[in-house]
C-alpha cells in the first residue's frame, strides 16, 4: 500500500472568480434537470435563496431553479470555505510568503490518497 498527499494553495480571488461560477453552473444544471430529485433538493435549500445582486446587476430570485454566484458565495457553507488562511503574496502580487499570516490572501488545499499495486491476471 502506498499513501501520500498533494498540498497546495489557491489565491482567494481566483477561487471566488473560478470555483464559485463553476459550482453555480453545475448545481444549476442539476436542479433544472429534476428539481424534485434527491440530488437537487439539498442544492436548492441552501443555495436558491435569492436576495443578492447578480453580476449583471439584477436581483437573484429565491426558488427560481437558477443559482447565481452571489447565492452560492453568500451561503454559510461556501463562505466559510473561502476564508483565506495563508499569506503568500505581497501588496504587488509577488510571491512573498509570510509565516505570520498577518494578511491572509490564499486558501490552503490538501488531498490525501492511498493506493495499492494493481494485479492483472
Confidence grade of residue 84 (pLDDT, cut at 50, 70, 90): very high
pLDDT of 39 above 90: no
- Average pLDDT (61-87) is 91
The percent of residues in the chain predicted with pLDDT above 90, rounded, is: 64
Q: Tell me, yes or no, whether 14 lies in a domain.
A: yes
What is the overall mean pLDDT for the chain?
A: 91
Q: How confident is the model at residue 62 (pLDDT cuts 50, 70, 90)?
A: very high
Domain with 52 in it: 2-115
Give yes or no for residue 43 having a pLDDT over 90.
no
Q: Give domain status of residue 42, yes or no.
A: yes
Q: In which element (H, E) is residue 44 found?
A: helix 41-47
Max alpha carbon distance in the chain (Å)? 60
Mean predicted confidence (pLDDT) in 57-83:
91
Reported as a pLDDT band with limits 50, 70 and 90, residue 118 is confident
| Residue 51 resides in a domain | yes
Over 90: is that where the pLDDT of 112 sits? yes
Average pLDDT for 20-47? 90
Residue of 24, 25, 15 lying closest to 70 (CA atoms): 24
Q: From CA 9, how far away is CA 23, in angstroms rounded? A: 19
Counted domains in the chain:
1
Q: Kindly tell me the burial class for residue 54, based on how many C-beta atoms sit within 10 Å of its own C-beta (0-12, 13-18, 19 or more).
A: middle
Amino acid at each position: 500500500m502506498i499513501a501520500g498527499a498533494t498540498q497546495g494553495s489557491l489565491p482567494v480571488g481566483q477561487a471566488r472568480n473560478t470555483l464559485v461560477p463553476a459550482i453555480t453552473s453545475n448545481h444549476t444544471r442539476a436542479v433544472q434537470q429534476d428539481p424534485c430529485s434527491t440530488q437537487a433538493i439539498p442544492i436548492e435549500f441552501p443555495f436558491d435563496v435569492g436576495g443578492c445582486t447578480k453580476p449583471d446587476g439584477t436581483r437573484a430570485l429565491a426558488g427560481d431553479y437558477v443559482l447565481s454566484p452571489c447565492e452560492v458565495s453568500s451561503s454559510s457553507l461556501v463562505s466559510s470555505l473561502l476564508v483565506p488562511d495563508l499569506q503568500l503574496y505581497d501588496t504587488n502580487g509577488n510571491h512573498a510568503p509570510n509565516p505570520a499570516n498577518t494578511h491572509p490572501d490564499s486558501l490552503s488545499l490538501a488531498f490525501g490518497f492511498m493506493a495499492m499495486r494493481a494485479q492483472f491476471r
